[in-house]
Amino acid sequence: MKEVTIEELLAKAEKPSREAMRLHAFYKGKIGVQLKCRIRSFDDFAIWYTPGVAAVCKEIHQDPEKAYDYTNKWNFVAVISDGSRVLGLGDIGPEAGLPVMEGKGLLYKYLGGVDAFPLCLNEKDPDKIIAIVKALQPTFGGINLEDISHPKCFKILDTLRVECEIPVWHDDQQGTACVTVAGLINALKIVGKKIDEVRVTMVGSGAAGVAIVRLLLSAGVTPGNILSVDSKGILHRDRSDRAILQTQFKEKWDICLKTNAKQVKGDVPDAIRGADVLISASKQGPGTIRKDWVKTMAKDAIVFAEANPVPEIWPWEAKEAGARIVATGRSDFPNQVNNSLGFPGIFRGALDVRAKTITDEMCIAAARELAKVAEDHGLSEEYIIPNMDQWEVFPREAVAVGSKGIEQGVARIKAPAEERFKLAAAIIKQAREEVQMLMREKFIIDPDA
């Protein structure tokens, strides 16, 4: 693996930023509304609007579930943010967060065939956000929460998952966790270790870190074998700030109660010593995780350094320190842990069975299928997780999620897996081909032509 300097990385990063400024202005955004029905003449307006549409309205009034049959509710997802934690930029507000939410809509459509629409809210009160989302349920088949600061993001997600009749997902939590678990499943296969026996250190206890620990537990990691670290050190029951954790950071306190069987105290290096697996969703590096800390890990160590754009430790440094498998969040290094491998296929599957929620077990099913796709292509130390351009990832993931939803009784539709695979593949193929067609026909204009 070639060593890359910070200066080279920053120079490489400047080009996408320059192009983003130019092309966002040129296209004036990334998504819009496109018709999906025929308009043969103006007479068709009598079908799609008044008076004909009244018959459809009356039918749905008699049975609200028929909105899935007569409207696009079956494929609508709202991408909702208050702009309080946008990327690594912090609380920049809903308007400044809109380009990110549009980008999420683009990925949903191209990778999963999902019609996702951004809704950036001028509201930061978690109870009011919960009320807004609940009020939006008649229009949408699912909700994607995005870039909402913690700890309120936990309350919002957990409340909505219980109280909504449509699936609610927080990608910063569940998406990151799902893809991380998928990579770990295959990494453990390569090093020949069992998931219920490994010692895992989680550096970072924000939205992603807490969710990763939750899903690791669901995936089979022994609770007592996990050590989590936040800015004040290792989480344990005797922390001096436990009163604050119990009242203001209940999710962290839950981790204190469930993990760290030996009640290890200390900081990051103490938590890493002897660990089989190190997962970091912390501040970007380099130097957040040091080589000498990685050297103290167990033989055949696994290191996931997920900060962007600069990982907590460079991959080659982790390798030099003894790590056998290294993953990052970057596409220019092997083993990219990328949320985009998760949410398009997961929501495709949830929508196709009209799921009422996305359970942790459905997330685990997605992670296992992601791992299986990579395994089918041939695992190696530098290939533990699929790439986004392997299109079959998304319909396969959709089928796995839908099947688990049917098994758990949260699906409104119980179609066979083969039928759902064909449906998902056709929807995704159509979404991609539409973009290519619009480019060929110059409805999407080449700014450099």
Which residues are catalytic, by number?
49, 104
Residues in CB range of 285: below 8 A, 6 or more apart: 305, 307, 310, 311, 312, 313, 314
Cα radius of gyration (the chain): 23
Contact present, 308 and 168 (Cβ < 8 Å): no
Q: Specify the length of the chain in residues.
A: 449
Euclidean distance between CA atoms 445 and 442, whole angstroms: 5
Helix then strand then coil, % of the chain, to nearest 5: 50, 10, 35
Residue 247's nearest CA partner among 130, 155, 131, 126 is: 155
Quickly list H helices, 113-206.
126-135, 152-163, 176-191
Give the 3-state secondary structure of residue 204: coil
In what order do the strands lie in the sheet containing 277-280?
233-234, 226-230, 200-203, 277-280, 301-305, 323-328
DSSP 31: -
Euclidean distance between CA atoms 76 and 347, whole angstroms: 10
